[in-house]
């Protein structure tokens, strides 16, 4: 009965979320609450047990036999809140602007340099973890240049998107937050395991952009001898896409300070000795007072950034209700046992890479939260029955992110396709041909070599 209830709850969650009948927060809280009441009735338990399951999912659970505490979502939620706040502050002060401007100036009229500049600017801007912002800035900066030089707009689209799919997996990115929360692990633990794969994928994306650049050189007959320089007017137009975004917030004179502060925060996060929430809370406070000084300006920035900061943190807290009910009621264990019993024993030793491959289309076509909270949270127990830890299961699911940025459920991609004159299926094919399959193979290889993904 618990298996049927678990399947019904997850199905209801995915269907209602995909159909946009409920917001992510209401789906994560109300659906498990209703099914929790049913579970209590079926089990003949006290209704107060439901509140206990939710409390454990949000805060912590104490094992009375071992004395071990299993944290709920409160830990990642606070880290998420302050990490998003910090990087929104850094984006506003213009920390990433000089790097983006450098590559734009270097592009000139060489198709190879233009493609490389596109991938590097997209990589830098994507560090703030926001897909829509990255696409808007990169399209504004490069589309007129591509048109002037007769470069393929399809290459612009896929070259912008490829780095976003990688750097969305930073600790403050949505996929990493959702995966860590669903698996009940610390974000910085997961990021340490992901980092080698992300760096390898970034190197591959640069090389693949270089390959497209060479192809465009051949197609356009570029030799470097003819005058293919871009006019100063076009360069300034591209630079203005970066410079004119919230100019009142820029603090170019504090670039070195902000860079050192950011590198120090990332180093401490990767080291793992200090909780991520403390690192980004203190870094945010320091960044605000140094960059904006006056109390009213600091308060104004906090109010302006609340719309970016609060929704993800609130959704993460809501995930505690979902995971608390699913786990506390026994539904997760029952469903995991049923799934594990159906898996052929011949596949048991290869479940991690198999899960990665299966996760790729699921991540592509389902809303992200529906996958991580509705499917990955149960697969954690399935993987556990084959000796795969929650951390390794999280890494396996994250490899599927190589196809996330061709998902039909990401609205910003339709804007990208409209600007580059592609229909959505053409865009998907172009990305998969030039980037998608190569990136997932790199993830599987690197995670396997580092031991993050057991084979």
Taking only the tens place, the pLDDT of each residue in 30-59 is 999 999 999 998 888 888 899 998 988 888
Residue 68 has pLDDT above 80, yes or no: no
Which residue range is the domain that position 144 belongs to? Answer: 74-313+342-455
- For the stretch 334-360, pLDDT in tens is 876 776 667 666 666 678 888 888 788
Q: What does the pLDDT average to over 249-258?
A: 92
Q: Is pLDDT larger for residue 326 or for residue 304? A: 304
Confidence of residue 227 (pLDDT cuts 50, 70, 90): very low
Residues 6 or more apart whose CB falls under 8 angstroms from that of 19 comprise none
Burial class (CB in 10 A: 0-12, 13-18, 19+), 295: exposed
User: For residue 78, is it within any domain?
Assistant: yes
User: For residue 43, is it within any domain?
Assistant: no
Average pLDDT, the chain: 83
| Dihedral sign, Cα of residue 424, residue 429, residue 430, residue 436 | positive
Angstrom distance (rounded) from CA 125 to CA 131: 9
User: For residue 232, is it within any domain?
Assistant: yes
Confidence of residue 288 (pLDDT cuts 50, 70, 90): very high
Range with top average pLDDT, 93-107, 254-268, 337-351, 373-387: 254-268
Count helices and strands (H / E) in the chain: 22, 2
User: For residue 287, is it within any domain?
Assistant: yes
User: For residue 261, is it within any domain?
Assistant: yes
Residue 257 has pLDDT above 70, yes or no: yes
pTM, entire model: 0.68
Q: What is the pLDDT of residue 331?
A: 83
User: For residue 8, is it within any domain?
Assistant: no
Structure tokens at 366: 């389902």
Euclidean distance between the first and final Cα of the chain, in Å? Answer: 34
User: For residue 324, is it within any domain?
Assistant: no
Angstrom distance (rounded) from CA 187 to CA 174: 11
| 3-class secondary structure, 223 | coil
Q: What total number of domains does the chain contain?
A: 1
User: For residue 433, is it within any domain?
Assistant: yes
């Amino acid at each position: 009965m618990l298996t049927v209830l678990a399947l019904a709850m997850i199905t209801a969650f995915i269907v209602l979320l995909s159909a946009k009948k409920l917001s992510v927060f209401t789906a994560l809280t109300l659906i498990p609450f209703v099914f929790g009441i049913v579970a209590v009735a079926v089990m003949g338990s006290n209704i107060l047990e439901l509140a206990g399951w939710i409390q454990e999912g949000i805060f912590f659970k104490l094992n009375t036999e071992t004395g071990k505490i299993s944290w709920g979502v409160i830990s990642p939620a606070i880290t998420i809140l302050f990490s998003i706040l910090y990087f929104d502050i850094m984006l506003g002060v213009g920390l990433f602007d000089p790097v983006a401007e450098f590559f734009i100036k270097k592009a000139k009229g060489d198709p190879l340099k233009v493609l490389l500049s596109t991938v590097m600017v997209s990589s830098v801007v994507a560090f703030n973890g926001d897909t829509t912002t990255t696409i808007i800035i990169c399209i504004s900066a490069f589309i007129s240049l591509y048109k002037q030089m007769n470069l393929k707009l399809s290459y612009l689209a896929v070259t912008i998107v490829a780095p976003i799919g990688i750097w969305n997996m930073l600790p403050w990115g949505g996929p990493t937050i959702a995966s860590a929360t669903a698996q009940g692990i610390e974000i910085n633990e997961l990021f340490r395991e992901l980092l080698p794969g992300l760096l390898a994928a970034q190197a591959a994306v640069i090389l693949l952009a270089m390959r497209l650049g060479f192809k465009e050189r051949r197609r356009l007959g570029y030799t470097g001898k003819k005058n293919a320089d871009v006019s100063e007017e076009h360069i300034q137009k591209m630079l203005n896409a970066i410079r004119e975004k919230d100019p009142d917030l820029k603090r170019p004179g504090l670039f070195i300070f902000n860079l050192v502060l950011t590198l120090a925060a990332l180093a401490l996060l990767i080291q793992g000795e200090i909780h991520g929430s403390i690192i980004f809370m203190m870094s945010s406070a320091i960044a605000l007072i140094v960059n904006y000084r006056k109390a009213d300006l600091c308060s104004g920035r906090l109010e302006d950034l609340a719309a970016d900061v609060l929704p993800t943190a609130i959704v993460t807290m809501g995930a505690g209700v979902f995971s608390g009910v699913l786990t506390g009621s026994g539904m997760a264990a029952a469903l995991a046992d049923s799934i594990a019993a159906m898996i052929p024993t011949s596949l048991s030793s290869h479940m991690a890479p198999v899960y990665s491959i299966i996760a790729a289309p699921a991540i592509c076509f389902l809303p992200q939260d529906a996958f991580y909270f509705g499917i990955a949270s149960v697969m954690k127990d399935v993987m556990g029955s084959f000796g795969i830890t929650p951390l390794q299961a999280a890494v396996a699911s994250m490899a599927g992110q190589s196809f996330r940025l061709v998902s039909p459920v990401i609205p910003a991609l339709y804007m990208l396709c409209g600007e580059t004159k592609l229909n959505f299926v053409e865009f998907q094919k172009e990305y998969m041909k030039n980037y998608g399959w190569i990136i997932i193979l790199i993830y599987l290889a690197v995670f396997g070599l580092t031991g993050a993904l057991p084979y």
